[in-house]
Amino acid sequence: MKSLLGSNIKELENIALNYGQATFRGRQIYNWIYNYRNKNKNIDQIDVLPLDFRKKLKDDGYTVSELNFKQKTLASDGTIKLLLSTADNESIECVGIPTEKRLTACLSSQVGCPMDCKFCATGKEGLKRSLKASEILDQILFIENEMNRKVTNIVFMGMGEPLLNIDDLLLSIRSINEDFKISHRKITVSTVAIPKMINKLSLKSFQILGKCQFTLAISLHASNQKTREMIIPSARNYEIENIIQDCKQYVRDTGRRVSFEYLMLNGVNDKLEHANELSNLLKGFQCHVNLIQYNKIDKVEFQRASLKNLQSFQYRLSHNGIPVSLRKSRGLDKNAACGQLRQNVKNK
Ligand code: SF4
């Protein structure tokens, strides 16, 4: 299959030329995909194109969308989680998180994930494969169609480790920016952190995108190496101090501050001593900490930290001069944790 989604205007014009069509046919496809964000994603339905051109594209294996809708859950706060199936019959999840002014799409970058974070349903299943840029972008169209409004912000915090799919990640970011018209600054790439890849991310971003202005969010979740390895076993390959050094280099290279995600787990990482340790680790460079409330999942022993611990932790970081905010937990009531909907459907 060859997806038209993810192709820019020049590439679509060239496809049209290759079929003996005028270049404006390429622009018609571009408008149909990106500007009208048409609900119908079948080439047959691009009715501005001549029938024989549509047929040739189809016969040659072109598609607009390769994903199919499988299931949806809607939380009381309006958050939706979609389960989509791929052409090779795998399942991926994406989430639409609405507020009055924003619609944030939380996207998956892989089918499954090899990182094995102990708090995550996706990590329990291992990695099946990485997603193509077109499959990443298609999730945006599904969310927009379900929610009947345009996505304004993107977070790569769904299934998978984005830095293990760096080429397709950056190709999708290019299209999100140029074709979906979402600014780089409204895109967040979240990673557990892979040795050498933080540096590679900024280098490749400058090569492919000409800049590196999206937000890098590190899923830190601990204030020391021992606790981090307990929560994220794959962290044994990358010392926490080395992550911080690489992040400092990233700030120097890009001029962008780094976010640190910190999942508050009862009795594991939520004490004041951890807040002090984290402050010492992070002091002295441009960063921001997001504290996150944990959504409990089946067969995982971790519990959500109390609100009292969470607030004390936040206050201590702030008192120590570390910029910090508390991320509101959204869609809590329905399979909101990463990979949970997919796991529930599989279990059935
Ligand atoms: S939290 Fe993210 S990186 Fe960790 S296992 Fe789950 S999907 Fe993978």
Residues 103-126: pLDDT tens digits?
Answer: 999 999 999 999 989 888 887 889
Residue with tokens 């390895």: 229
Going by DSSP bridges, is the β-strand pair 258-264/287-293 parallel, antiparallel, or unpaired?
A: parallel
pLDDT of residue 186: 98
**Residue pLDDT, tens place only, 311-328:** 999 999 999 999 999 987
Q: Assess whether 93 carries a catalytic annotation.
A: yes
Q: How confident is the model at residue 134 (pLDDT cuts 50, 70, 90)?
A: very high
Name the burial class of residue 198, with classes exposed (0-12), middle (13-18) and buried (19+) by CB atoms within 10 angstroms of its CB. Answer: buried
Instruction: Tell me how far apart the alpha carbons of residues 38 and 121 are, in angstroms, rounded to a whole number.
Output: 33
| Percent of the chain as helix, strand, coil, to the nearest 5 | 40, 20, 40
Q: How confident is the model at residue 40 (pLDDT cuts 50, 70, 90)?
A: confident
pLDDT of residue 328: 72
**Residue pLDDT, tens place only, 268-319:** 999 999 999 999 999 988 999 999 988 877 777 899 999 999 999 999 999 9
Q: Is the CB of 161 under 6 A from ligand 1?
A: yes
Q: What is the mean pLDDT of residues 233-241?
A: 95
Distance 58 CA to ligand 1 centre (A): 36
Q: Which residue's alpha carbon is at the smallest distance from atom 4 of ligand 1?
A: 117
Q: Is the CB of 115 under 6 A from ligand 1?
A: yes
Catalytic residue among 13, 93, 135, 144: 93
Distance 39 CA to ligand 1 centre (A): 30
Distance 341 CA to ligand 1 centre (A): 14
Instruction: Tell me how far apart the alpha carbons of residues 273 and 327 are, in angstroms, rounded to a whole number.
Output: 21
Q: How confident is the model at residue 339 (pLDDT cuts 50, 70, 90)?
A: low
Token digits of residue 246? 């690489």
Enter the pTM of the model.
0.94
Residues linked to residue 218 through DSSP beta bridges, in sequence order? 191, 260
Distance 161 CA to ligand 1 centre (A): 6
The DSSP output letter for 260 is E
Q: Is the CB of 240 under 6 A from ligand 1?
A: no
pLDDT of residue 37: 77
pLDDT of residue 1: 80
Of 3, 39, 35, the residue nearest 178 (C-alpha): 35
Extract the runs of DSSP E, i.e. beta strands, from the chain.
2-3, 62-63, 68-74, 80-85, 91-98, 103-106, 110-112, 127-130, 153-156, 187-191, 215-219, 258-264, 287-293, 324-327
Q: CB–CB of 235/223 below 8 Å?
A: no
Looking at every residue in the chain, the average pLDDT score rounds to 92
Q: Is the CB of 113 under 6 A from ligand 1?
A: yes
Region of poorest pLDDT, from 3-7, 73-77, 280-284: 73-77
pLDDT of residue 120: 86
pLDDT of residue 336: 47
Of 261, 338, 328, the residue nearest 81 (C-alpha): 338
Q: Examine the pLDDT at 28 and tell me if it is beyond 50.
A: yes
Alpha carbon of residue 146 to chain centroid? 18
pLDDT of residue 103: 97
pLDDT of residue 38: 72
Q: CB–CB of 153/105 below 8 Å?
A: yes
Q: Examine the pLDDT at 335 and tell me if it is beyond 90.
A: no
Catalytic residue among 94, 117, 247, 338: 338
Q: Is the CB of 278 under 6 A from ligand 1?
A: no
